[in-house]
Chains A and B, each alone.
Chain A
C-alpha cells in the first residue's frame, strides 16, 4: 500500500448526499477479475452520456479534475454495496482523500485498506469547503495525516479524527494482512480452545 503522509491538491466537489457505491462504480463493471483500470468507470453513469461521450458539466470531467487528489462529497458517502471496486476506481482515477461529514462503514474500511483517506469534518467546515470550491474551482487544500489536519487556503486548520492503528498503517504504508499474519500463534491458541462451529465440507443430501 502506498503511504499517505501529506497532500496538497485542488478539490473536486460533488455536493450530493448518500452517494452509493453503485454510482461510484456501476455493477456491470464488476465482472472484472482484476483491480486494475477501474478509474475509467468511476461515476460512469453520471460522467458519460449513453453513447460513451463525457458529460462536460460533470465535475470530474472539468479541466483540472484529472490532477485533483481530493474529492469533496455529501454526507454518508459510499453507502450500499460492499464492493471494494469503489475505492479501487477512486484511486485509479487519482484520488487519495475523500472529505465528507460521514462515510458508510464498509466503504470506510475498504478505503483505509487501500491508502485512500476518509476525512470526516463538521457540518460548518463541510459547508465552507463547498462554498470555497464553488467560488473558485481551483481551490487548493492540504491534508496532513501526521497532524490530522486539513489546511484551508486562508490558513485555517481543521482537525479530523482517525484511529491510531489506521493512521500508523497509512503513514507507513503497512498492509494490515501482515499484522494479522503475525497473530498466528494466538489464532492457533484460540482454535485449540474453540473447535470449529461448522464444517462446510460438502455433504450429500
Chain B
C-alpha cells in the first residue's frame, strides 16, 4: 500500500477523483446530492433547456425546508411566492424522478437534519447541496460542502463537480468543555478567534479530546458552522460514536453490507503522521458560553464579556465593518451584554434544532415561565425530531413555559417563511448567522447556544446560563 500518510480529507478526495487534466480542476464524483426548494429551480430549468436528464436520481434526495411555514400542514401557505416555489420542487422531482420528502412526509425536515437522521449521510462520502451549511454532514467523516445553483445543475446532469483541491487545516481542541459550555460555544469561540474569513480555502478537520467527547449531534453543530469561518468544509474522523449513531438507520447499510462498510470506515481517520497545510489549536477548558454582539458570527464574546471597541482595530475595512455593526445592533463599545433586554428567542435551525438541543433548552425551561413580553419560538429541525421530542414530553415543557411549539423548517434562521423579527427587535437565536436583516429587516440577532437562549427566555435579558443550571 501507499507509504505517504494521508489525512481523512486526502483519502476521500483521492477516492472520488474521476479525472484531473493538466491546467484543469479535478472532476470529483458526488455520492449524495441533497436539494431543496430555494436553490434548485433554476438548475432544473437549465436541464430542460439543454434537454438533459438527472444522471443519478437515486443518489439525489429532495426536501422542503426554507420557505415552508412552521404552522400546521393543513393551514394553506399564505405567501403565493413560497407556495409557487414549493409546488415547483414537487413538479421538478416528479418530472426528473427524484425522491422527495415533501410537505406531508413524516420525515420531512431541514435538509441537514434529515440526511443524518435517515442514515443517508455516511462516512467517506462526498455530499453536496445548494446550501452553505452542507458542512454539517462532515461530522460523519464525509467531505460535504455547499455549492451554487450552477453547480447543482452540474451535479444533477453529471453527478460530478469541477473542484480545485482545497488545503487542509487541523483544528485541535484540547481538554474538555466545562458544564454549561456547549458545542455551539466551542464553534463560536473558534470563529471569534480566527475571523469570518479565517478558514477560506481550507477544509477543517476537527480533532482532539474535546471533539472525541462530543455526541454526533454536537459534532454536527461544530461542523455546521465551519462555513462561518469561511472553511470549505469541516470534518470529524468517524469513530464508535459515529457508527453507533448510524447503526439501524433507514438508509444505513445492513447485515454483511454493514460489516463491509465498518471495515472501510475504520480506515478513514487521518494517518498518525499525516500532514496538514495548517493547524489551529483551541483549549476547551478556557471556553465560556459565547454570544455574538455584531453582524457576523466572528463578532462573538463570552456572555460575561464586554462589547469591544472598534477604535482598537487598525485595519480600516475591519474597523468600519465593526462600527457599522455596532450602529446596527444599537450597542456601545465597552457595554456588557449581560442584562441587555431581548424581545424574541429562537430555538431551532440546522445548527441547533436536533433532539439534544431541544433537551438542553427544556432543561432550563422546565418548571419555569417565559418572561412576559418575550416571544419564544421552538422549531424542531425535522418532523422526526418533533415526534421524538413529543414522545418524551419536551413539547409540554415548552408550551407550559409559554413558548410556541412549531412544525419543522428553517424558520426564523433565514426568515423566508413568515417567521421573522420586527425592525429593531433583539433575538437570542440558536441559529448560525447574525448578518444584518438575516432574521427579518432591521432585526438584531445575538447567536448563542440552546442553554443561553433558554436562559434569556426566562429572564428576558441576556443571561449566563450557568446561573440557571442545577
Question: What residues of chain A lie closer than 8 Å to B228, measured between beta carbons?
Answer: 80
* CA–CA, A41 and B280, complex, Å: 39
Which residues from chain B contact A28 at a C-beta distance below 8 Å? Answer: 415-416, 441
Which chain A residue has the least Cβ–Cβ distance from B198?
A76
Residue B390 CB within 8 A of the other chain:
no
A45–B437 touching, CB < 8 Å: yes
In the complex the two chains form, is A109's CB within 8 Å of B151's CB?
Answer: yes
Shortest B27–chain A CB gap in Å is: 5
One of B232, B251, B317, B433 near A105 (C-beta < 8 A): B232
Minimum C-beta distance from B195 to chain A (A): 8
- Stretch of A12-20, A53-61, A89-97, A142-150 lying at the B interface: A12-20
B27/A187 in contact, CB under 8 A: yes
* B148 engages A82 (CB within 8 Å): yes
| Known pairs A18-B296, A201-B58; A30 contacts B150 (CB<8 A) | no
Pairs A–B under 8 Å by Cβ, sample size 16: A18-B196, A22-B437, A31-B81, A34-B45, A75-B318, A80-B227, A82-B132, A109-B148, A164-B24, A177-B153, A180-B158, A181-B158, A183-B18, A187-B55, A196-B31, A198-B59
CB contacts (< 8 Å) of B320 on chain A: these are: 15-17, 74
- Closest chain A residue to B67, Cβ basis: A31
Chain B residues in 8 Å Cβ range of A127: 316
Of the stretches B82-90, B340-348, B393-401, B449-457, the one at the interface is B82-90
Complex contact A80–B441 (CB within 8 A): no
User: Which B residues from 286 to 335 make CB contacts under 8 A with A?
Assistant: 296, 298, 315-318, 320-321, 324
The contact size tier of chain B is 35 or more
Partner of A45, one of B66, B82, B316, B436: B436
Chain A residue at smallest Cβ distance from B131: A82
Chain A interface size band reads 35 or more
For B99, what are the chain A residues with a Cβ–Cβ distance below 8 Å? Answer: 200-202
**Contact, CB under 8 Å: A200 / B88:** no
Residues of chain A with a CB closer than 8 A to B151's CB: 109-110, 113
Partner of B160, one of A103, A105, A183: A183
C-alpha spacing A149/B26, complex, angstroms: 27
A194 to B159, CA, bound (A): 13
The complex places the Cα of A87 from the Cα of B150 at a distance, in Å, of 11
Residues of B within 8 A of A74 (CB): 317-318, 320-321
CA distance A179 to B230 in the complex (A): 28
Which 10 interchain pairs have the tightest Cβ spacing?
A: A76-B197, A74-B317, A110-B148, A84-B148, A17-B317, A33-B41, A31-B81, A82-B146, A200-B61, A113-B150
B403 contacts the other chain (Cβ, under 8 Å)? no
**Inter-chain contacts of B146 with A (CB < 8 A):** 82, 106
Restricting to B113-127, which residues have a CB under 8 Å from any CB of A? 120, 122, 124-125
Which residues of A174-190 have CB atoms within 8 Å of chain B's CB atoms? 176-177, 179-181, 183-184, 186-187, 190
Interchain CB contact under 8 A, A18 and B321: yes
Q: Does A27 contact B (CB under 8 A)?
A: yes
Chain A residues with CB under 8 A of B285: none
Interface pair B436/A183, CB less than 8 Å apart:
no
Q: How far is it, in angstroms, between the C-alpha of A194 and the C-alpha of B227 when the chains are bound?
A: 29
Could you list 6 further interchain pairs (A-B, Cβ under 8 angstroms) beyond the known A20-B435, A176-B162, A186-B27? A17-B315, A74-B317, A82-B131, A103-B200, A113-B151, A164-B23
CB-based nearest B residue for A202: B99
Task: Give the nearest-CB partner of A200 in chain B.
Answer: B61
Q: Is B147 an interface residue (CB 8 A)?
A: yes
A154 at the interface (CB under 8 A from B): no
B157 within 8 A of partner (CB) = yes
Q: Which residues of A contact B324 (CB under 8 A)?
A: 16
- Cross-chain contact B441 with A197 (CB below 8 angstroms): no
Q: A80-B433, A105-B230, A181-B157 are in contact. Are A17 and B59 (CB under 8 A)?
A: no
Q: What's the least CB distance linking B202 to chain A, in Å?
A: 9
B79 within 8 A of A: yes
B residues 169-217 near A (Cβ < 8 Å) are 195-197, 200-201
B251 touches A183 (CB 8 A): no
Q: Which residue of A lies closest to B32 (CB)?
A: A198
A1 to B49, CA, bound (A): 14
Bound-state Cα–Cα, A183 to B21, Å = 11
